[in-house]
Structure 1
């Protein structure tokens, strides 16, 4: 599974909203994530949509306010490889918890 890309300063999800929401629905307590310094030049943002301008400041602001862009608007790139995480759903849900049972995780 590809980890979710998250701004370390604000904990705004930059990439992986669908994975995060799917894990929540499945009752996961954990989500594999990579925290990044969003202010670093190593992280860049563009748009998947022609004619749409996206900036880091706007992505961060909208994320903090809970006003996300429509799906497939922002496209983030990093200057390092993000390896897949080999974790099964059992590990992400947590031992002893089934789908739908929730103890305050995600």
Structure 2
């Protein structure tokens, strides 16, 4: 089966991986990093972004379960070179901190 024939959630899951702050800093500097709260499913959020599910994405933004990565969080992550889970949903890199 061609990768393009896979369902979106499956493709996103296959494209999800670990990223270090050092690798992520480039995207942060361009304002392209979205942070997902720990209580949400990273793949669900990425899927909603990819499918342009505006009402759901707006709800997460309003409750700050999804947000553009703040300078304060970026500074903390840079200090200990945090490892994060990430998936690309152009133009965004969507990240989630995992314990």
TM-score, L = length of structure 1: 0.27
Max radius of gyration: which structure?
1
TM-score, L = length of structure 2: 0.28
More helix by share: 2
